[in-house]
């Protein structure tokens, strides 16, 4: 018998049990209400000995999915999992009666049941519930994965995240930590006077980042719309309007490749502070990351991909140019702005130079290939070429460089921030340059946002801005090496038809 045939037979057997319950009027009741969660039960009573539990006579109602069962004649043990934890139950025929006990033995692993009883400790000392009544709440029609092998296939785990959460309790912990991460981030920003806001996810122009957007169409208005690639230009409009500290924890969308670091739909935290600059945004990023690690990991270090990441000290700072020079000893300082020399070095290292670009993009390409993977400890890389930074303020002493940084941890970019460009005429010229690049075939180049330039013409104070990839921060905090591990429902190809 094939595995598929056996599985179909098991499903048919469970459906037959459900049909019998339907005929008796007992299928899917809606009047059972647990009065305790397993984690609360364990935290409250886990330290009490058996004698104390018996004296107190602690009665309660809990509900959960039956994950294990041992039937031993007139008495049985099982474990219920309610999502917060597992608790053993002890079921006796004397307590449930012949009919009730027979019904218990008809249950299948995965069934959701509600029980009532009293807490006690077994001879082995395990905290357990002595069941006085039991009801089937929801039938599990599909067999759970076999306990020994479990659910390990990554693609199947991501496709059927509900099953992954059932079978792998450690996965639930990942998403609890992710939720806590967002709560801590909000609390820190709120405490510093930032206002949380919401900006459009569908936009008439895709702006705020250099990326390829998803496009859609609004039928009623008969206009093309883009899923936002970043909320930046809307948030800075709010700074113009007098909301001097704003942030948004946003879902953004970029029509690009999928990898262990990239998902087309992702979560960013973007914050903008009037009277701030590149330096103040680095301070904010450092404070936020150190706070997250301390609050969630309970320490100042993280173990990640065979490395110990240290968040206790000030983060290292190095300029982009110095980092490339250190990694490429064949280069001299004067070479870093020499287009022909940079192309030569890239090709010598077996890398294809970006087409029709100036020295700025070539220098960044060399950095991404030679330096970025080596930046394991928290490191701010500063001073980027203007060519790759169309929204950043140029440096006062060097018009070809901007006041910008990127934060790298574990060999991955975590945050991007800069002193915002608030000169409307300069911004208009930058947009025009982006249009020329777009006309030359760069699909990621920005469009000209005339309304944003108009907003700047009303005057925006000097402002610092930052974007933090919260999915990548979650990867660090949970020790996950793939972004799919920290997304409940990562994008996958459509699943072939199956049972």
Query: Tens digits of per-residue pLDDT, 75-90?
Result: 999 999 999 999 999 9
Residue 466 has pLDDT above 80, yes or no: yes
What tokens does 221 get? 């208005």
**Alpha-carbon gap, residue 168 to 151, rounded angstroms:** 8
Q: What was the pLDDT predicted at 211?
A: 86
CATH number at residue 278: 3.30.930.10
pTM of the predicted protein model: 0.92
Check whether residue 206 and residue 243 sit in a common domain.
Answer: yes
pLDDT in tens, 105-158: 999 999 999 999 999 999 999 999 999 999 999 999 999 998 656 688 888 999
Check whether residue 138 and residue 185 sit in a common domain.
Answer: no
Non-local CB neighbours of 381 within 8 Å, separated by 6+ positions = 318, 319, 320, 323, 367, 371, 375, 405, 406, 407, 408
Q: Give a yes or no: residue 322 inside a domain.
A: no
Check whether residue 14 and residue 127 sit in a common domain.
Answer: yes
What tokens does 392 get? 């950043």
Counting the structural domains of the chain, the total is 2
**Alpha-carbon gap, residue 459 to 422, rounded angstroms:** 7
Check whether residue 171 and residue 136 sit in a common domain.
Answer: no
Residue 2 has pLDDT above 90, yes or no: no
As a whole number of Å, the CA-based R_g of the chain is 29
**Of all residues in the chain, what percent carry a pLDDT higher than 90?**
86
How much is the average pLDDT of 285-291?
98
Residue 40 has pLDDT above 70, yes or no: yes
Question: What is the Cβ-side half-sphere exposure of residue 386, based on CA atoms within 13 angstroms?
Answer: 16
pLDDT in tens, 318-348: 999 999 999 999 999 999 999 999 999 999 9
Check whether residue 191 and residue 131 sit in a common domain.
Answer: no
Q: Which residue among 112, 144, 176 closes a domain?
A: 144
pLDDT in tens, 22-34: 999 889 999 999 9
Check whether residue 120 and residue 74 sit in a common domain.
Answer: yes
Which pLDDT band holds residue 14 (cuts at 50, 70, 90)? very high
Q: Which residue among 144, 177, 197 closes a domain?
A: 144
What tokens does 479 get? 């020790």
Residue 258 has pLDDT above 90, yes or no: no
Non-local CB neighbours of 393 within 8 Å, separated by 6+ positions = 402, 403, 418, 419, 420, 421, 422, 423
Q: Give a yes or no: residue 156 inside a domain.
A: no
How much is the average pLDDT of 465-489?
96
**Alpha-carbon gap, residue 410 to 290, rounded angstroms:** 15
Burial of 313 (0-12, 13-18, 19+ CB in 10 A): exposed
pLDDT in tens, 352-372: 988 878 999 999 999 999 999
Check whether residue 11 and residue 121 sit in a common domain.
Answer: yes
């Amino acid at each position: 018998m094939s595995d598929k045939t056996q599985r179909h037979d098991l499903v048919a057997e469970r459906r037959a049990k459900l049909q019998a319950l339907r005929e008796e009027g007992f299928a899917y009741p809606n009047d059972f209400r647990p009065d305790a969660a397993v984690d609360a039960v364990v935290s409250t009573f886990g330290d009490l000995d058996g004698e104390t539990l018996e004296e107190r006579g602690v009665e309660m109602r809990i509900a959960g999915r039956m994950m294990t069962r041992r039937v031993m004649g007139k008495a049985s043990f099982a474990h219920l999992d309610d999502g917060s934890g597992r608790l053993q139950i002890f079921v006796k025929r004397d307590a449930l009666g012949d009919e009730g006990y027979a019904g218990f033995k008809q249950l299948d692993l995965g069934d959701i049941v509600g029980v009532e009883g009293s807490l006690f400790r077994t001879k082995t000392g395990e905290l357990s519930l002595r069941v006085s009544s039991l009801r089937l709440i929801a039938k599990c029609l599909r067999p759970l994965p076999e306990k020994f092998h479990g659910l390990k296939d990554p693609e199947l785990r991501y496709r059927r995240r509900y099953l992954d959460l059932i079978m792998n309790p450690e996965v639930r912990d990942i998403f609890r930590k992710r939720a806590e991460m967002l709560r801590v981030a909000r609390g820190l920003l709120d405490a510093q006077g930032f206002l949380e806001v919401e900006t459009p996810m569908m936009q008439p122009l895709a702006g705020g980042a250099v990326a390829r957007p998803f496009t859609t169409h609004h039928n009623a208005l008969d206009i093309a719309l883009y899923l936002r690639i970043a909320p930046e230009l809307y948030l800075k409009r709010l700074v113009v309007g007098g909301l001097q500290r704003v942030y948004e924890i946003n879902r953004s969308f970029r029509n690009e490749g999928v990898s262990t670091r990239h998902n087309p739909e992702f979560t960013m935290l973007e914050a903008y502070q009037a009277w701030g600059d590149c330096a103040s945004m680095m301070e904010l990023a450092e404070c936020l990351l150190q706070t997250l690690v301390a609050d969630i990991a309970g320490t100042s270090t993280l173990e990640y991909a065979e490395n110990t990441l240290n968040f206790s000290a000030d983060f290292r700072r190095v300029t982009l140019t110095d980092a490339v020079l250190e990694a490429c000893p064949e280069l001299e300082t004067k070479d870093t702005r020499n287009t022909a020399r940079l192309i030569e070095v890239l090709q010598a290292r077996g890398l294809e130079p970006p087409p029709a670009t100036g020295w700025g993009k070539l220098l960044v390409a060399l950095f991404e290939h030679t330096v970025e993977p080596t930046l394991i400890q928290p490191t701010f890389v500063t001073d980027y070429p203007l060519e790759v930074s169309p929204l950043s303020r140029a440096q006062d002493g060097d018009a070809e460089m901007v006041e910008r940084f990127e934060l790298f941890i574990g060999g991955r970019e975590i945050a991007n921030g800069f002193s915002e460009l608030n000169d409307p005429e300069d911004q208009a010229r930058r947009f025009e340059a982006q249009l020329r690049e777009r006309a030359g075939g760069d699909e990621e180049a920005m469009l000209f946002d005339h309304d944003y330039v108009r907003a700047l013409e009303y005057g925006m104070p000097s402002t610092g801005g930052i974007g933090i990839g919260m999915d990548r921060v979650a990867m660090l905090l949970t020790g996950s090496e793939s972004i799919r591990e920290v997304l409940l429902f990562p994008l996958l190809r459509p699943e072939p038809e199956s049972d």
